[in-house]
Amino acid sequence: MSSVSTETSSAATEDQGSLIRSLSWKGAFWIAAGVPPLVLFSIGGIAGTTGKVAFVVWTVSMLMGFLQSFTYAEMAGMFGNKSGGTSVYGATAWLRYSKLIAPLSVWCNWFAWSPVLSLGCAIAAGYVLNALFPVPLATSQPVLDWVTAHLASLPPGSPRVAEYLAANPAIPEADAIRSLLTTDAVAALTPAIRTWSALELPIPGLGSLHLNATFVIGTVLMLLIIAIQHRGVSSTAVAQKWLAIIVLVPLLLVGLVPIFSGAIDYSNVTALVPPTAAYSGENGAWNVGGWTLVLGGLYIAAWSTYGFETAVCYTRELRDPRRDTFKAIFFSGLLCCVFFILIPFSFQGVLGLEGMLAPGIIDGTGVAEALGGMIGAGPVIAQLFTILMILALFLSIMTAMAGSSRTLYQGSRDGWLPHYLGHVNEQGAPTSAMWTDFAFNLFLLALASDASGYFYVLAISNVGYIMFNFLNLNAGWIHRIDSPHLPRPWKAPVLLIGLNTVLAFVNALFLGAGAKVWGYSNALVSGLIFAALIIPVFCWRHYIVDKGRFPKEAMEDLGLSNDDTSLGPRRAGILPYLALIAGAVLVAWANWFFVLPT
C-alpha cells in the first residue's frame, strides 16, 4: 500500500495519465449530494407497491443503508490509492477466493449506478416537453373552442356515439358526443413532437427501443453533463455544490413546512397495512402477498437509499484519503437520512395514497407540481418547482456519472476490465469510461423513453446493486480475517461488522422476493444474465491480454509482490464459499416462497 506521503502528494507530483488529488472530503460530500433527489425517482412506484407502508419502507431502507456504510467506510480507508468506490475495495477481499467474483462485484455496482443517467434524463426530458410542448387540458379554452367548432362532425346516432353509449348507458347522448369530441380535441391540439417516433424496435426479453422526442432531449442532456465533468473532479464538485444548495434547501422546506403548518393528515400514515395488490389503492393484510409487496418496496428503495456510498468513489482524488474517506461517507449518510425519511413521510402525509398513485407521480413528471402543492404554492411557484425538479435530476445524474465512470476506470487499472477504460484526460477526468457510460445509457434511454420500460430498467439494474451489496458487506469480515496487516485509518466496531453481515442476507431476501414485484417476472433472470456478461470480458482481459497476472499496483494494494500468483493466504477458509452458497439458497427460497397477492 502507498505511504501517507504518497497519498497526500499534490497534483503536481501525480503520474501522467492518473487521477489528480485535488478534492477534500467536502468536495466528495457535494458530489454525493446528488443522492437525496433519487427519492423522487421511485417515490410514486413504491407508494403504489407498498401502499400506506411506503414511508416506513423508505425509513427502514435508509437506516439499513446508513448502518452498512460503516463497513464501507473502513474498507475505503484501507485503499487510499484506489478510485471507483466501495465495490472496488470490497472486491479485493474476494480476489483470493475466486478471480471471477471480484470483477462481478465491480460490474454489478457499475450497471446498478449507470442507469441513473438514462432514467434521470428520461424524466428531465419529460419536464422539458411539458414546459415547451404541453398537452392541452380537457377543460382548457382551446379544447372547448375546438369541440364547439366540430359539433356537427359527430351527429347523434352515429356508430361511434352508439358504441360509447353501449359502454356507458347512464350518460346522456349529448354528453357522450361532447366527451368523444373532447378526446378528439386533445389529440388534435397536442403538439406533434409529443407523439413523434422515428423508431420502435422490439427487443425480446427486454421491451422496445424508442427513438422519440424523449430520447433526443435526454441525449442532449447527457452530452451536457459529460461536458461539465470533462473538466475534472474539482470542477464537478463546484458545480455540484451550487446545484445541491439550489435543490436541497427548497426540498428540505417541502418536507418540513407540512409538518409545522399542520398539513399532514395523520390518517394517511397510520393503520399501516400493505395493499391488496400493487397500485390497487386498497388496504390489504399482512399475509404472504402483502409481505411480498413490502419486500419489493424495500428491494427498489435500496437503489436510492444505499446510494450515498458513492461518496468514497473519489478516494484516489482526495488530498488526504486517510481522514477524508470516513468524513465523506458519514456526513453524506446523515444528509440522506434527513431527506429519505422526511420527504416520503410528508409526501404521503399530505397527498395520501390516492394522490401518490396519480399517473404523474408514478412516472415522475407530476412530482414538481405536487411539491409546490405541498407548501400551498401558486402557479408561479409551481413552475419554479418544475425548474427545481430538472436541476434535482441534473444533480443526481452528475453524481451517477462521476461515480460509475470511476468504477470503470479502477476496474481497468486493477486488471478486471478493458485497458482503454483506464485513460484520463489532462484534467484527470476518466473520459474513456465516461463515453462508455454514455454509449451504454443511449441504449437504456431508448428503452426507458417509453413509460413501460422505466421501471423495468430500474428493476434489472437493482439486481446488480443488491448482489454488489451482498458481496461487499461480506467483504468486510473477509478483510478482517485475511488482511489484518493493512492499515485501517478508521475501524468499524466488531458489532457493526457482524450486524452488517446479517444485513447482507437481508438484502439477499429482498432480491429473491422483490425483483418480481415490479411487473416483470423475468427481471431477476435478466439481471443475473447481465451480471454474467462480466465473465467473458474479464477472461479476455486477464487471461489473454495480461497472461493471467494482475497489474503491479493491484497486487501492491494487497501487500503482495507482482510475482506472487497465490494472491495471499486464504485465512477465512471455506467461510466465504459458505456465505455465497447460503446467499444463493436464500435468494432461491425467497423467490419461491414469496408470491404476489391474487
What per-residue confidence (pLDDT) applies to 58?
A: 97
The region of weakest confidence among 264-273, 354-363, 373-382, 431-440 is: 373-382
Continuous segment of H or E residues that includes residue 3: none
What per-residue confidence (pLDDT) applies to 227?
A: 86
Strand partners, 212: 197
Distance between CA 453 and CA 446 in Å, rounded? 9
What per-residue confidence (pLDDT) applies to 273?
A: 94
Give the model confidence (pLDDT) of 178-197 as tens digits.
999 999 999 999 999 988 88
**Residue 221 in contact with residue 121, Cβ under 8 Å?**
yes
Distance between CA 321 and CA 318 in Å, rounded? 5
Distance between CA 527 and CA 530 in Å, rounded? 5
What per-residue confidence (pLDDT) applies to 559?
A: 64
Say how many CA atoms lie within 13 Å of 423 toward its Cβ. Answer: 12
Q: Which residue has the higher pLDDT, 288 or 311?
A: 288
Mean pLDDT of 552-576: 73
Q: Which residue has the higher pLDDT, 301 or 376?
A: 301
pLDDT(17) > 70: no
Confidence of residue 264 (pLDDT cuts 50, 70, 90): very high
Strand partners, 199: 211
Residue with cell 458545480: 239
Nearest alpha carbon to residue 49 among 514, 578, 525, 482: 514
Mean pLDDT of 199-215: 81
Q: At what angle do helices 39-50 and 288-305 cross, to 10 degrees?
A: 180
Mean pLDDT of 343-367: 85
* pLDDT > 70 in the chain, percent: 92
pLDDT(566) > 70: no
Q: Which three cell numbers stand for residue 518?
A: 415490479
Continuous segment of H or E residues that includes residue 312: none
Give the model confidence (pLDDT) of 324-334 as tens digits.
888 889 999 99
Give the model confidence (pLDDT) of 414-467 as tens digits.
888 998 998 888 887 888 999 999 998 888 888 876 666 667 777 888 899 999
pLDDT(233) > 60: yes
CB atoms within 10 A of CB 322: 18
Q: At what angle do helices 494-514 and 575-593 cross, to 10 degrees?
A: 40
The pTM assigned to this predicted structure is 0.84
Distance between CA 462 and CA 544 in Å, rounded? 31
Mean pLDDT of 459-482: 92
Confidence of residue 57 (pLDDT cuts 50, 70, 90): very high
Nearest alpha carbon to residue 514 among 279, 302, 343, 207: 302
Distance between CA 9 and CA 522 in Å, rounded? 49
pLDDT(307) > 90: no
What mean pLDDT, rounded, does the chain reach?
85
Q: At what angle do helices 86-94 and 379-413 cross, to 10 degrees?
A: 30
Greatest Cα pair distance in the chain: 89
Confidence of residue 541 (pLDDT cuts 50, 70, 90): very high
Phi-psi region of 376 (alpha: psi -120 to 50; beta: other; left: phi over 0): left
pLDDT(355) > 50: yes
Q: Report the b/e string of 227-259 with b at 16+ CB within 10 A.
A: ebbeebbbebbebbbebbeebbebbeebbebbe
Q: Which three cell numbers stand for residue 245?
A: 444548495
pLDDT(18) > 80: no
pLDDT(498) > 90: yes
Distance between CA 78 and CA 479 in Å, rounded? 10
CB atoms within 10 A of CB 501: 16
- In sequence order, what are the residues at sequence separation of 6 or more whose Cβ sits closer than 8 angstroms to the Cβ of residue 292? 513, 514, 516, 517, 594, 595, 596, 597
CB atoms within 10 A of CB 55: 25
Torsion of CA 573, 577, 583, 586, to 10 degrees: -100
Mean pLDDT of 259-273: 92
pLDDT(368) > 60: yes
Cα dihedral 407, 411, 417, 419 sign: positive
What per-residue confidence (pLDDT) applies to 346?
A: 94
What per-residue confidence (pLDDT) applies to 89?
A: 86
Q: Which three cell numbers stand for residue 262?
A: 399542520
What per-residue confidence (pLDDT) applies to 459?
A: 80
The region of weakest confidence among 127-141, 193-207, 393-407, 443-457 is: 443-457
What per-residue confidence (pLDDT) applies to 13?
A: 36
Q: Which three cell numbers stand for residue 494?
A: 466488531
Confidence of residue 204 (pLDDT cuts 50, 70, 90): confident
The region of weakest confidence among 40-54, 75-89, 254-268, 574-588 is: 75-89
Q: Distances in Å between the alpha carbon of 78 and those of 477, 490, 526?
A: 13, 9, 34
Mean pLDDT of 277-295: 92
Across the chain, how many H-helices and E-strands are there? 24, 2
Mean pLDDT of 562-591: 86
- In sequence order, what are the residues at sequence separation of 6 or more whose Cβ sits closer than 8 angstroms to the Cβ of residue 465? 108, 109, 112, 113, 302, 303, 306
Nearest alpha carbon to residue 54 among 232, 296, 383: 296
What per-residue confidence (pLDDT) applies to 2?
A: 36
Distance between CA 444 and CA 585 in Å, rounded? 31
Give the model confidence (pLDDT) of 235-261 as tens digits.
777 888 888 888 888 889 889 999 999
Q: What is the DSSP letter of 429?
A: -
The region of weakest confidence among 102-111, 228-237, 428-437 is: 228-237
Distance between CA 564 and CA 573 in Å, rounded? 19
**Residue 58 in contact with residue 39, Cβ under 8 Å?**
yes
Q: Are strands 197-203 and 207-212 parallel, antiparallel or unpaired?
A: antiparallel
* pLDDT > 90 in the chain, percent: 35
Question: Vertex 85, ends 20 and 433: CA angle to 5°?
Answer: 65
Confidence of residue 286 (pLDDT cuts 50, 70, 90): very high
Helical H runs in 262-314? 288-305
Q: Distances in Å between the alpha carbon of 86 and those of 75, 127, 395?
A: 7, 33, 21
Confidence of residue 79 (pLDDT cuts 50, 70, 90): confident
CB atoms within 10 A of CB 593: 13
Distance between CA 440 and CA 166 in Å, rounded? 49
What per-residue confidence (pLDDT) applies to 10?
A: 38
Give the model confidence (pLDDT) of 372-392 as tens digits.
778 776 667 777 777 887 888
Distance between CA 394 and CA 213 in Å, rounded? 18
